[in-house]
Structure 1
């Protein structure tokens, strides 16, 4: 039995190079779908109903900011990258804009609010 005790230690040591070569945690590659903490409310209702969700899903992009505003109204929150609309289930829809102000994509937050 005494000669078996070093084996677990050797086994653990053999895993050390594998553990050291693990990549760093992944960073998010897209903006969040929820308003960032401290984002100022836009001052309006900014909610989506079921028909708005369906319309957004079938909308072809890009769209002008005016077209989005005219169809969905003003958002609940807005920052330099996106408009945020509250969904009936408490989650969020984000409509993302490029540097020229055209809507280029959208996403919905999951049940965790991300």
Structure 2
């Protein structure tokens, strides 16, 4: 029985080359900002999402045109070349991201730290 104990360790060691070839999580996933950059000028009049808007955003099928987003949620509070930023009732932010064609392709919500 004593000679069987090293086998699990050898099996784990055989996986080491596979694990070393995986990219680090920070390298594998790009995390765009969910809050407007400092110094960004306000874009819209209101730019807030209510609870019903948040639920709608979560169930949207992407991609969506900019016009469809604007017609549904109104103008954002802030806008830059990659995203529209809407204020949430809890003080956090929702970001809707656009591709180079101007279509909305994804969204994210900031956490309580504003990230």
For Structure 1 versus Structure 2, the TM-score category normalised by the shorter chain is 0.7 to 0.9
Change in CA separation of 1:17 and 1:78 when aligned onto 2, cut-off 3 Å: same
Q: List per-residue Cα deviations over 1:6-51 (Å, max 9, x = no partner).
A: 9999999999999999999947922100001111110410000000
- Secondary structure (helix, strand or coil) at the match of 2:25 reads coil
* Residue range with higher mean Cα deviation, 47-56 or 16-25: 16-25
Question: Which one has a bigger Cα radius of gyration?
Answer: 1
- Secondary structure (helix, strand or coil) at the match of 1:27 reads helix
Q: How many residues align?
A: 114
TM-score (normalizing by structure 2): 0.75
Which runs of 5 or more residues in structure 1 are unaligned? none
After the TM superposition, list the runs of 4 or more consecutive aligned residues in structure 1 that deviate by more than 6 angstroms. Answer: 1-25
Which runs of 5 or more residues in structure 2 are unaligned? none
Change in CA separation of 1:30 and 1:19 when aligned onto 2, cut-off 3 Å: closer
